[in-house]
Amino acid sequence: MLPDLTEALQRRKQENLYRTRPILEGPQAPHITIDGQNFLAFCSNDYLGLANHPALIAAATEGAQRYGVGAGASHLISGHSRAHHALEIALADYVGLARALLFSTGYMANMAVVTALVGREDTIFADRLNHASLNDAALLSRARFLRYPHLDLAALEKQLKTTQTRRKLVITDAVFSMDGDQAPIADLLALCQRFDAWLLLDDAHGFGVLDAQGRGSLYAHQEVDRTAPHLIYMATLGKAAGVSGAFVAASASVIETLIQHGRTYGYTTAAAPLLAHTLLTSLQLIKQDSWRREHLKQLITQLRQALQSLPWQLLPSNTPIQPLLVGENQQTMQLDQALRARGIWVPAIRPPTVPRGMARLRISLSAAHTEADVTQLSAALHELAGVLA
């Protein structure tokens, strides 16, 4: 068996698909040190620049002093602390839904929702560009798994109309992690209400960023009926919120079902309560510091204007995720390496994360970046366009 593994790994290297783990020295920031070299980085999901915020560091210290560093048990035994409970109440109020439930990761949250709500007698409908966690959850549920073309609501409507099963669940990213575009949430929810289906929204990349107060995708589209019982909302807390974890918000019945039947909730030790304590401070900063989102919008506009004339296509996105479509793996890696040689870190995204022939640089902007940082990146890309394109 070992020769088979070695051969498969060698093929992966030959196809420019081999991944390595860079070692980050110090905290997440626009200017970082990786493997001993300094870089201007456009690679993190720290969209609001909170991951190294002094107020969060102070809150984490206070949380450790109050609660210790480990939960010590699952939420259903004795690991559900006052900090966890307070954060769940605050998050539910913030996104305007009945109840919220904390998870250690977004992956675990999606696993819990999908597998607790549907099974062999049911059908899942999924956007073809969904995050891997949604796809894996669908497969694990053993429900019938139907995928529709990216953002194609006509195809989804046809599938919903012709499917007769006990339960129906539509699952989708709210902001797509590799393209930066957004799902038409109001139209999706209307379809789900019409065909009596649940809608699970994965807003990992919208929470904290979209809406004037950072309440995410549900508020970026004011026409969304947030009282609809069909709606289930998931967001992560390790991206714009700057810490770690995730939560699901929905009706009381859905949340209670997850507590009773969510395997990734009940069968794991709770996340450290100091993280929940820290996130209460993070939530306040997200609400109050609207300037972070305004600055981020300005950087997005600056970058898009600066990169318009490149030979590579900048995919349409008004979020911090700005994908520069290159195409083939080899040229994408050449561009990645040439930027690193100039002290700029932008991750090369290749299959299977994206479809074949759709390799790209995934530029991630943060409120911690400056206009000068964006100018430096755009100048380097224009210089390389004359060499590699």
Check whether 68 is labelled as a binding-site residue: no
| 205 flagged as catalytic | yes
Catalytic annotation, pick one of 75, 80, 205, 277: 205
Instruction: Spot the catalytic one: 44, 177, 217, 317.
Output: 177
Would you state the structure tokens that stand for residue 98, as one six-digit string?
């009945």
Q: Annotated catalytic, 161?
A: no
* CA–centroid distance for 94 within its chain: 19
Is 290 labelled a binding residue? no
- Assigned token pair, 62: 């206070």
Is 317 annotated for ligand binding? no
Q: In the chain, where does DSSP find H-type helix? A: 2-14, 54-67, 82-95, 106-117, 132-141, 153-161, 185-194, 217-220, 252-261, 263-266, 273-288, 290-306, 329-341, 371-388
Report the C-alpha gap between 88 and 202 in whole angstroms: 17
Q: Is 353 annotated as a binding residue?
A: yes
Contact assessment for residue 132 and residue 153, using Cβ atoms and an 8 Å cutoff:
no
C-alpha radius of gyration, the chain, whole number: 21
Residue 205 assigned as binding residue: yes
365 near 300, Cβ under 8 Å?
A: yes
Cα dihedral 66/71/72/74 (nearest 10): 150
The response to whether 31 counts as a known ligand-binding position is no
Around 129, how many Cα atoms within 13 Å sit in the side-chain half-sphere?
Answer: 19
Residue with tokens 């669940």: 169
Which of 53, 75, 168, 239 is flagged as catalytic? 239
Residue 301 annotated in ligand binding: no
107 belongs to an annotated ligand binding site: yes
Question: Which active-site residues does the annotation give?
Answer: 177, 205, 239
Where is the binding site, in residues?
19, 106-107, 131, 177, 205, 236, 353
Where is the binding site for pyridoxal 5'-phosphate, in residues?
106-107, 177, 205, 236
Where is the binding site for substrate, in residues?
19, 131, 353
